[in-house]
């Protein structure tokens, strides 16, 4: 059986990501999770480090009893071909699931099998919306797995997002 590959920034890992991975973990032998923009952190678009994002993912998936996953990371290359090659190296025999049009195009052009992810509502779950809510001091805990919320709060991640957004 082939693997499923999910690539994303996971800034932060949210319930939409969880729904997708939970679904794929039942359909595929292994789910390969690739953290994109692994070299980016400390900005409002990418507040969390790759190591922090990996820990959020591990905590959430472990709590759900999901064991058939691996996590890798790919930095930004600013070159579509090089980036696609780096992702492809993470899991050669994988079907990629993504919603991002650029990711779809890059990975299809590299010869990977790509399917548009339709497993969760992007309008309901969005890292950008979660970061906006954190920065504005609005409710966001229901949009992420409880383990992710606890991790972000215990590591002062919400304070960091507010500071990066210019909020107090």
Quick one: CA torsion of 63, 131, 15, 73, rounded to 10 degrees? -70
Q: Distance between alpha carbon 33 and the CA centroid of its chain, in Å?
A: 8
Which residues in the chain come in under a pLDDT of 70?
A: 1, 119-123, 167-168
Q: Which domains does the chain have, with CATH numbers?
A: 3-164 (3.40.50.620)
Q: What is the pLDDT of residue 118?
A: 72
Within 8 A by CB and 6+ apart from 156, the residues are none
Q: What is the pLDDT of residue 99?
A: 84
Residue 123: in which H helix or E strand, if any?
A: none
Q: Which residues pair with 69 in a beta bridge?
A: 31
pTM of the predicted model as reported, rounded to 2 decimal places: 0.93
Across the beta sheet with 31-35, the strand order is: 69-73, 31-35, 3-8, 94-98, 113-116
3-state helix, strand, coil in the chain (%, to 5): 45, 15, 40
Q: What is the pLDDT of residue 119?
A: 62
Q: What is the pLDDT of residue 168?
A: 55
In terms of Cβ atoms closer than 10 Å to its own Cβ (0-12, 13-18, 19+), residue 95 is: middle
Tell me whether the omega of the peptide bond preceding residue 12 falls within 30 degrees of 0, making it cis.
yes
Q: What is the pLDDT of residue 72?
A: 96
Q: Distance between alpha carbon 42 and the CA centroid of its chain, in Å?
A: 16
């Amino acid at each position: 059986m082939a693997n499923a590959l999910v690539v994303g920034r996971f800034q932060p890992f949210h319930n939409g990501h969880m729904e997708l991975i939970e679904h794929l973990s039942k359909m595929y032998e292994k789910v390969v999770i690739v953290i994109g923009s692994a070299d980016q952190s400390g900005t409002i678009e990418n507040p969390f480090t790759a190591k922090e994002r990996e820990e959020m993912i591990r905590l959430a998936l472990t709590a759900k009893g999901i064991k058939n996953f691996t996590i890798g990371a790919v930095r930004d290359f600013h070159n579509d071909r090089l980036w696609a090659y780096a992702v492809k190296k993470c899991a050669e025999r994988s079907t990629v699931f993504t919603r991002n049009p650029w990711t779809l195009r890059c990975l299809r052009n590299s010869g990977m099998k790509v399917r548009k992810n339709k497993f969760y509502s992007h309008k309901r779950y969005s890292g950008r919306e979660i970061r906006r809510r954190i920065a504005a001091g609005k409710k966001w805990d229901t949009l992420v797995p409880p383990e992710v919320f606890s991790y972000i709060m215990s590591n002062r991640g919400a304070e960091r997002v507010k500071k990066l957004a210019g909020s107090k």
